[in-house]
Amino acid sequence: MSNIFLTDQEMKHQTEIRQFIQKELTPIAEDIERTDRYPREIFSMLKPTGNLGLLIPEEYGGNNRGVVIASIFAEEMGAVSPAIGMCVGASSVLFTWPMVRFGTNQQKKEILPRVARGERIGCICITEPNVGSDVAGMKTNAKKDGDHYVLNGEKRFITNGGEADYLLVFAITNPKVHAHQGMTAFLVEKTMPGFKHTKDYELMGNRGAKSSHLTFENVRVPIENVVGPENGGFLVVMDELDVERTMIAGQAIGCARTSFEQAVKYSTERVQFDRTISRFEGVSFKIADMALAMDAARLLMLRAGRMIDKGLSATKEASMAKLFAVETAVNVTYNALQVLGGIGYTKEYNVEKFARDARLMPIGGGTSEILRYLIQREVYREFKEKQKKTEGVSKPRASQ
The span from the CA of 357 to the CA of 82, in Å, is 7
- pTM, entire model: 0.93
pLDDT band at residue 3 using 50, 70 and 90 as cut-offs: confident
pLDDT band at residue 395 using 50, 70 and 90 as cut-offs: low
Q: How many residues does the chain have?
A: 400
Over the stretch 258-298, which tens digit does the pLDDT of each residue have? 999 999 999 999 999 999 999 999 999 999 999 999 999 99
Q: Which burial class, exposed, middle or buried, applies to 230 when counting CB atoms under 10 A from its CB (0-12, 13-18, 19+)?
A: middle
The span from the CA of 333 to the CA of 286, in Å, is 11
Average pLDDT value for residue range 33-41: 95
Provide the 3-class DSSP secondary structure of residue 201: coil
Architecture of domain 123-232: Beta Barrel (2.40)
Q: In this prediction, what percent of the chain has a pLDDT beyond 90?
A: 92
Residues of the chain with CATH 2.40.110.10: 123-232
What pLDDT, on a 0 to 100 scale, did the predictor assign at position 392?
72
Q: Which residues of 78-115 are buried (b: 16+ CB within 10 A; e: fewer)?
A: bbbbbbbbbbbbbbbbbbbbbbbebbeeebbeebbbbb
Q: Check pLDDT > 60 for residue 2.
A: no
Catalytic residue status for 24: no
The helix or strand, by DSSP H or E, that contains position 375, with its residue range, turns out to be helix 368-394
Q: Which residues of 124-151 are buried (b: 16+ CB within 10 A; e: fewer)?
A: bbbbbeebbeebeebebbbeeeeebbbb
Average pLDDT value for residue range 217-225: 98
Question: Any idea what DSSP says for residue 95?
Answer: I
Q: Are 58 and 101 in contact (CB under 8 A)?
A: no
pLDDT band at residue 136 using 50, 70 and 90 as cut-offs: confident
Average pLDDT, the chain: 95
What pLDDT, on a 0 to 100 scale, did the predictor assign at position 397?
57
Cα 327–329–331 angle (5° rounding)?
70
Q: Check pLDDT > 50 for residue 400.
A: no
Choose, from 33, 128, 240, 244, the residue flagged as catalytic.
Answer: 244
Q: Are 206 and 86 in contact (CB under 8 A)?
A: yes
Q: Check pLDDT > 60 for residue 368.
A: yes
Q: Which is it for strands 211-222 and 226-227: parallel, antiparallel or unpaired? A: unpaired
Q: Check pLDDT > 70 for residue 41.
A: yes
What's the helix, strand, coil split of the chain in %, to 5?
A: 60, 15, 25
DSSP 17-83: HHHHIIIIIHHHHHHHHHH----THHHHHHGGGTTTSTTS-GGGTS----HHHHHHHHHHHHHH-HH
Residues of the chain with CATH 1.10.540.10: 8-121
Q: Check pLDDT > 70 for residue 163.
A: yes
The span from the CA of 107 to the CA of 189, in Å, is 12
Average pLDDT value for residue range 251-260: 97
Q: Which fold has domain 235-386?
A: Butyryl-CoA Dehydrogenase, subunit A; domain 3 (1.20.140)
Architecture of domain 8-121: Orthogonal Bundle (1.10)
Over the stretch 334-366, which tens digit does the pLDDT of each residue have? 999 999 999 999 999 999 999 999 999 999 999
What pLDDT, on a 0 to 100 scale, did the predictor assign at position 135?
85
Over the stretch 45-98, which tens digit does the pLDDT of each residue have? 999 999 999 999 999 999 999 999 999 999 999 999 999 999 999 999 999 999
Q: In this prediction, what percent of the chain has a pLDDT beyond 70?
A: 98
Average pLDDT value for residue range 137-151: 96
The span from the CA of 237 to the CA of 371, in Å, is 15
Q: Which amino acid is at 308?
A: I
